[in-house]
Chains A and B, each alone.
Chain A
């Protein structure tokens, strides 16, 4: 069974631009969670999507948004990029909604904002 895929793997953007990241979950998994990982803050939860609806959201500004499609693929968008948005963005898929399910991570998208 194929794992979680994320595109692109690397991205360089300029302050003020916007970016869209894509995540395809493991076949049969209906939940996709997004995380930001930085050396200083560790893994921080952004949001979770299940059945095309955002089910839970972390403590990030509204510049961070996402959506999920009927095939469970998910996209994350960051608008008006700031230098502090430079990070590894990870998505994780799981069978069901919520923190009780095992989550499987994709390889991540490394975003650099200059």
Chain B
């Protein structure tokens, strides 16, 4: 089992709908969780960090963390074609010194 797992996709979502991206992790004591967006040929861009169970909202983005079930998700409301990108989940695993990255989910928003 990989330490941080994401469905590679592609996940295809109609414009205006809610896109739901999921990430599971193996370390029960992980404390820090991050979502990044990466456009093709560009570097990752931080969308949101989350450290506590529950929801955290920032504009059209909502991160949801459930430590008991060891998953973190990202919801994108009112999806736009400009949201088409690869979304990377990063989690600190086993220690507080290194992030482990998922392979990313490719999201395609269809006009």
Encoded as 1 (CB less than 8 Å from any A CB) or 0, chain B from 68 to 111 comes to 00000000000000000000101010011111111110000000
The B interface is mostly helix, strand or loop, or mixed, namely loop
Encoded as 1 (CB less than 8 Å from any B CB) or 0, chain A from 70 to 100 comes to 0000000000000000001010000001111
Given A42-B103, A100-B31, A100-B92, also A106-B97 (CB < 8 A): no
* A45 lies within 8 A of B43 (CB): no
Interface size class, chain A: 20 to 34
Closest to A107 in B: B43
Which of B43, B88, B95, B104 is the one whose CB lies under 8 Å from A99? B95
Give B contacts to A, CB under 8 Å.
31-32, 34, 36, 42-46, 49, 51, 88, 90, 92, 95-104
A-B complex: 8 closest residue pairs judged by Cβ atoms = A99-B92, A43-B101, A56-B97, A105-B43, A100-B32, A99-B99, A98-B96, A42-B103
**Interface CB pairs A-B, < 8 A, 9:** A42-B102, A43-B44, A43-B88, A45-B98, A48-B98, A97-B97, A99-B95, A99-B98, A104-B46
Q: A45-B100, A105-B43 provided; 5 other pairs, C-beta below 8 A?
A: A55-B97, A98-B96, A99-B95, A102-B46, A105-B46
